[in-house]
Structure 1
């Protein structure tokens, strides 16, 4: 079993370690920087999690990440302060449901 030490601000390093394939981790030059808040691994897939404190309708980072790594994604989550719903393949979950992921 492999273990990774993840620092709160170093998700990019975790992605590099998790997917040692160069074609998945190679950076492309862009005008925008998008970050995912958390990642959960399920088998050989990952579940990106974006946390929203207020307006949860915009989740550009999650969308861009899922477009780039679509074949590696199992489930997508947005954690917010509203009730649970599933829309367009994204699970919108209230904060109290986090321990169940």
Structure 2
């Protein structure tokens, strides 16, 4: 699992006395579970941030988080980037949209 590999890398960097460890996670797994919908459900998004912090991460950069309030789950800076402007620009300049239908 790539998440475990990334956690192991962060831990290795911490043990090697890195001054800062910036985690780049274009896809932040388990981020959709950011609140409880029923009793006894885990808040897995919080757990993921806690795991990265415990491993030694000092900053996290991610793209298109499920909910921006998840940034508060990490005790450090979180850079939340959005890919939508880049995707829109690509579609406008690379595709013929005269007779297009976009479905989400």
| TM-score, length-scaled by structure 2 | 0.33
Larger proportion of strand: 1
Structure having greater relative contact order (Cα 8 Å, sep ≥ 6)? 2
Larger proportion of helix: 2
